Amino acid sequence: MPKDKNKKQPATIEDLLRDQLIVQLGLAGLTQHQIREIVGVDIHRVNRIVKYLNKTK
């Protein structure tokens, strides 16, 4: 039986810490490209998180 590819995996502690680091770097004023290089994740993940920071400023 094939596995459901669209099923989301639960967030791990490492994922949550990476997201928190992205938020902190975004608040510090770094560009999305700089954040991506520091954290080492996909640019889409950074964009998904940082776009909410821009709305609150």
Query: Tens digit of pLDDT per residue, the chain (57 long)?
Result: 556 666 677 789 999 999 999 999 999 999 999 999 999 999 999 999 999 886 665
| 44 in any annotated domain | yes
Tokens of 14: 């490492």
Domain extent for 34: 13-56
Number of structural domains (the chain) is 1
* Nearby residues of 6 by Cβ (< 8 Å), 6 or more positions away: none
Residue 56: predicted pLDDT: 61
Half-sphere exposure of 21 (CA within 13 A, CB side): 15
| 35 in any annotated domain | yes
Tokens of 6: 């669209």
Residue 2: predicted pLDDT: 59
Residue 37: predicted pLDDT: 96
DSSP state at residue 10: P
User: How far is Cα 19 from Cα 39, in angstroms, rounded to an integer?
Assistant: 9
